[in-house]
A = this chain, B = another copy of it.
Amino acid sequence: MLSKRARYAIKALLFLYENKEKTPISAKLISENENIPYKFLENILRELRQSKILKSERGAGGGYRFSKEPSEITIADIIRIIDGPIALIPCVSLNFYEKCDECDDEATCKIKKLFVQLRTEMLPILNKSLVEVERL
Total residues of chain A contacting the partner, CB 8 A: 32
Residues facing B in A70-98 (CB within 8 A) are: 75, 84-85, 87-90
Give the secondary structure class of A's interface.
Answer: helix
State in angstroms the CA–CA spacing of A101 and B36 once bound together: 11
Contact partners of A117 in chain B: CB under 8 A: 125
User: Is A52 positioned at the interface, with any CB of B under 8 Å from its CB?
Assistant: no
Contact A1 B88 (CB under 8 A): yes
Contact B7 A89 (CB under 8 A): yes
Closest B residue by C-beta to A100: B7
State in angstroms the CA–CA spacing of A1 and B85 once bound together: 7
State in angstroms the CA–CA spacing of A117 and B124 once bound together: 11
Q: Residue-by-residue, is A23-37 near B (CB-CB < 8 Å gives 1, otherwise 0)?
A: 000000000001110
- Specify which of B102, B114, B126 is in contact with A35 (CB 8 Å cutoff): B102
Contact partners of A35 in chain B: CB under 8 A: 101-102
User: Is A10 positioned at the interface, with any CB of B under 8 Å from its CB?
Assistant: yes
Give chain B nearest CB distance to A56 CB in angstroms: 23
User: Is A54 positioned at the interface, with any CB of B under 8 Å from its CB?
Assistant: no
